[in-house]
Amino acid sequence: MKKVNLIALLLTALFLFTACSNHSNIPESPNHSKYIYRMADGSSLDWDTAMGMPIKINLVNGKTTPVCIDPLCMHDDADCPFYECFGCVADGTVIFFRRGWISRTEVGFEGSEKLCTYNAATGEVRILEDYTDSIVYAGIHDNVLYYYTAEFSSENDTWICSYQLHLADGISGKITDLPLEKEYTTEGGFTSNSDYPNILSIDDERIYWMEYSGISDAIYYQTDRMAQNKQMLAGGQTAGGIYHGGYAYSVTGISELIDPSAGRTPENMINTYALHRTSLADQTKETIAGGLTTPNFIITDRYIFTLEGLSTESKGSKKILHGCKVSRMNHDGSNLTVITETDKYDFMYGEFSGNEILIDCYEDEENTYLALAFYVTDEDGNLDISPDTLILNAATAEFTVSEYIE
Ligand SMILES: [Zn+2]
């Protein structure tokens, strides 16, 4: 069995979410940014597929600008910092992206990939390193990128790939090689594989990892931010989800029959979600919220926010929400409070994928700002993701749509 299929299955089943990366105890430092980034068409930044112009959204005032702010730039020649940008990720004020590519030839691989940064605060572009090995994304947190370089070699007519882990500090530009306890190799010349350790989540102190041992058993562990001082996480319950304050948060789907005497038809089923947290210290698992109609949640330093539709419609494996109700609770599930609802906007998410509506947040001393992806109806009556971002001010319970400034 191919391991790559196992990880795809596992990630789907566990609803992997992105944790809110901002922290209220640090008011406004370069590492804790009120800016979030999306692609100009509303899709997420992505290391492997995204190409085009990222946009920068200020969650406090709603102003949105292309990251290339030169008004005369057509973004179509080498004067544009994003010309030939292939794939990018951001967290903080630095966007990491790559330029160039490595291609397979009959005799091996040729070409090179440059690891580049763009500082959205200063506009500065830097080439940090020019690699003849593929750059494989592992994780990002507060302007620090974790990545593997994957070196191909040929052995007995098969391609072998070996990995080296690095971190790049996007502010200083410094690259540090990180330890791996053993050499991970994958066969076939593909880097999209689960044989090397994958980063599940990064917080201010720790990195949480998953790797496979043998054919199917996943093991989980944490290290410090320099990938040292490895500690195993006992049991499998901490798999997936968001790691926050010593707990792993995850969602499970529950299917129940409306009429228990009738069959398991889609009309007779009701699907709800429960939110759990598992202590990393003693592995105790508790259910902190149940009966949720969507798996969407996001964790800030103060609260957990959930989002549900006022009415829901199924479209294949997608759910369409008309209107939404946003609630918050404490990290242990107590004090569940509805903060607002609106019937003005439509949303959509895949039943087996993660947090596609509550996409990001920024929290300062007084307030929490939530970023939501919403959908608009096009002229043919189809729902399309909006290139704008819906912002909820949690203190005033007001929604605003981001405003694009050329
Ligand atoms: Zn440009």
- Give just the sign of the alpha carbon dihedral 281, 4, 141, 324: negative
* Residue 268 φ then ψ, to 5°: -100, 10
**Selection from 352, 347, 353 nearest residue 371 by Cα:** 347
**Selection from 57, 28, 20, 31 nearest residue 170 by Cα:** 31
- Give just the sign of the alpha carbon dihedral 384, 21, 126, 152: negative
Give the Å distance between the CA of 82 and the centre of ligand 1: 6
Task: Kindly report the three-state secondary structure assignment for every residue of 19-67.
Answer: CCCCCCCCCCCCCCCCEEEEECCCCCCCCCCCCCCEEEEECCCCEEEEC
Domains detected in the chain: 3-404 (2.130.10)
Read off the DSSP letter of residue 6. H
CA distances from residue 195 to 9, 180, 210, 243, 366 in whole angstroms, order as listed: 15, 13, 10, 23, 44
Give the Å distance between the CA of 83 and the centre of ligand 1: 7
Give the Å distance between the CA of 66 and the centre of ligand 1: 8
**Cα 129 to Cα 119: distance, rounded to the nearest angstrom:** 16
- 110 Cα distance to chain centroid: 31
Give the Å distance between the CA of 53 and the centre of ligand 1: 8
**Residue 144: Cβ-neighbour burial (10 angstroms; 0-12, 13-18, 19+):** buried
Read off the DSSP letter of residue 131. E
Which pTM value belongs to this model?
0.84
Give the Å distance between the CA of 213 and the centre of ligand 1: 45
* Residue 315 φ then ψ, to 5°: -140, 95
Q: Which residues pair with 306 in a beta bridge?
A: 297, 327
Give the Å distance between the CA of 76 and the centre of ligand 1: 7
Give the Å distance between the CA of 129 and the centre of ligand 1: 22
Give the Å distance between the CA of 71 and the centre of ligand 1: 8
CA distances from residue 306 to 55, 143, 176, 185 in whole angstroms, order as listed: 26, 27, 38, 40
Q: Which pLDDT score, from 0 to 100, does residue 305 have? A: 95
Cβ contact 253:295 at 8 Å:
yes
Give the Å distance between the CA of 375 and the centre of ligand 1: 27
Q: Nearest 5°: CA angle at 86, between 82 and 90? A: 75
Q: Which pLDDT score, from 0 to 100, does residue 242 have? A: 80
Give the Å distance between the CA of 401 and the centre of ligand 1: 24
Q: Which pLDDT score, from 0 to 100, does residue 401 have? A: 97
Q: Which pLDDT score, from 0 to 100, does residue 169 have? A: 96
Cβ contact 148:164 at 8 Å:
yes
Q: Which pLDDT score, from 0 to 100, does residue 216 have? A: 63
Give the Å distance between the CA of 75 and the centre of ligand 1: 4
Cβ contact 101:111 at 8 Å:
yes
Residue found by looking up tokens 């008309």 in the block: 322
Give the Å distance between the CA of 48 and the centre of ligand 1: 21
Q: What is the pLDDT along the chain (406 residues), one digit of tens a residue?
A: 333 333 333 333 333 333 444 333 333 333 357 889 998 888 889 898 767 788 999 999 999 988 887 888 888 888 888 887 888 999 888 999 998 888 877 777 789 999 999 988 888 889 999 999 889 999 999 899 999 998 888 777 777 888 899 999 999 999 999 988 777 877 776 666 677 898 988 888 889 888 876 666 778 888 999 999 998 886 555 555 788 888 888 888 888 888 889 888 877 888 889 999 988 888 888 999 999 988 899 998 899 999 999 998 888 888 899 999 999 999 999 999 999 999 999 999 987 666 789 999 998 888 999 999 999 999 998 899 999 999 999 999 999 999 998 7
